[in-house]
A and B are shown apart, each in its own frame.
Chain A
Amino acid sequence: MCKRLVQMMQGNIWISLNPLGSAQSMTLVLRFQNRPSYGRATFAPGSSSEQPSSNPQFRGLRVILADDDALNRAVTKKLLEKLGCEVTAVSSGFECLSALSSAENSVRLVVLDIQMPEMDGFEVATRIRKVRSRSWPLIIAVTASAEDNVWERCLQMGMNGMIRKPVLLQGMADELQRVLPRKSFEGRHSAS
């Protein structure tokens, strides 16, 4: 974990694990150009996933994604993973809160669908901010609404960012870039 953090702060080098679980160093040239990876050679034989993301800042970012719609959840999860994030996907506000409390401080970002039944995104955010600071975890709202005052409401509830549906890769990358401080992993994790 430490090794990964240090290398991420240096910028260009990071570690990925091969399927056997041993560390394998990989230096990637980063281009945010959508290239079809289906059927093409991977960088290292045996590596179980390819990271086409151009932004090392998101590499290893721990995210909880809450969306009650299975389709949207699958798409947004995949999108975040493509950007390098480690995603825990849940289907309700309740699950989100409990996942967050069991993860303690290791979750950096919560991506929340506003329109969820039972407990909507606003309420989840309010509850999170009752016990956590405004910058950890960061909260990004996902909304279908085109109304102007949604953003204000998000801010009032203690959210840090907002994205409109349908969620696009570039839109998510831009918003992540906007809300995350440059060195987002500094100072919060204890050495391990």
Chain B
Amino acid sequence: MEVGQMQRAWVEYTRSLFREGFLDAQFQQLQLLQDESNPDFVAEVVSLFFEDSERLLADLTFVLEQQNIDFKKVDAHVHQFKGSSSSIGAQRVKNDCIAFRNFCEEQNIEGCLRCLQQVKQDYYLVKSKLEALIRLEQQIVAAGGSIPMEELSS
């Protein structure tokens, strides 16, 4: 694929991610913060997000498997997950966390378990999409092109 085609693919893919609610304006802001002094900024922040998330999901799974569930702990983890997904612009994950916290407050075990499944699902979805997006960006750059951010506002 030549650069122009890759750039068009990038625009279409990014637009679809925003349109389908996987990512929100916060992610776009991160893209705009990237520059020559830090050309891997987005990739770095995204990988921090993946690390955080894997750990949080493991912790959540563990806490929810216990006989006596410590809802305070659950809430603390979900709160953190909400914070990091919000900082990166992973909209669906963030919204799942909001619902999750409500069930925590009610100490609703069923609800919490369902939320855990939902948030895992949405996390893995956005993870694969972000990985694909970053791969595409790296290919564009490797081919000597630039990321056409300005196309997103049209």
Contacts and interface: CB of A to CB of B under 8 A. Distances in A.
Contact of B146 (A38, A50, A82): A38
Interface string A18-43: 00000000000000001111111010
Contacts of B149: 36, 38
Contacts of B141: 38-39
Secondary structure at the A interface, as helix, strand, loop or mixed, is loop
Secondary structure at the B interface, as helix, strand, loop or mixed, is helix
Interface residues of A, number: 27
A50 B32 CA distance: 13
Interface in A49-88: 49-50, 52, 69-72, 74-75, 78-79, 82
A72 B36 contact: no
A38 to B, nearest CB: 5
Nearest to B149: A36
A152 to B, nearest CB: 22
By size class, the interface of chain B is 20 to 34
25 contacts: A36-B31, A36-B146, A36-B147, A36-B148, A38-B34, A38-B36, A39-B145, A49-B36, A49-B37, A50-B36, A69-B52, A70-B48, A71-B48, A71-B49, A71-B87, A71-B88, A72-B83, A72-B87, A74-B48, A75-B87, A144-B79, A165-B86, A166-B86, A167-B87, A169-B33
List the 8 shortest-distance A-B pairs measured between CB atoms, nearest first: A39-B146, A36-B149, A49-B37, A37-B35, A71-B48, A34-B32, A166-B86, A38-B147
Given A78-B41, A165-B86, 20 more contacts: A36-B146, A37-B35, A38-B35, A38-B146, A40-B146, A48-B36, A48-B37, A49-B37, A52-B35, A69-B52, A69-B83, A69-B87, A70-B52, A71-B45, A72-B84, A74-B45, A75-B87, A78-B33, A167-B87, A168-B29
Interface of A: 34-40, 42, 48-50, 52, 69-72, 74-75, 78-79, 82, 144, 165-169
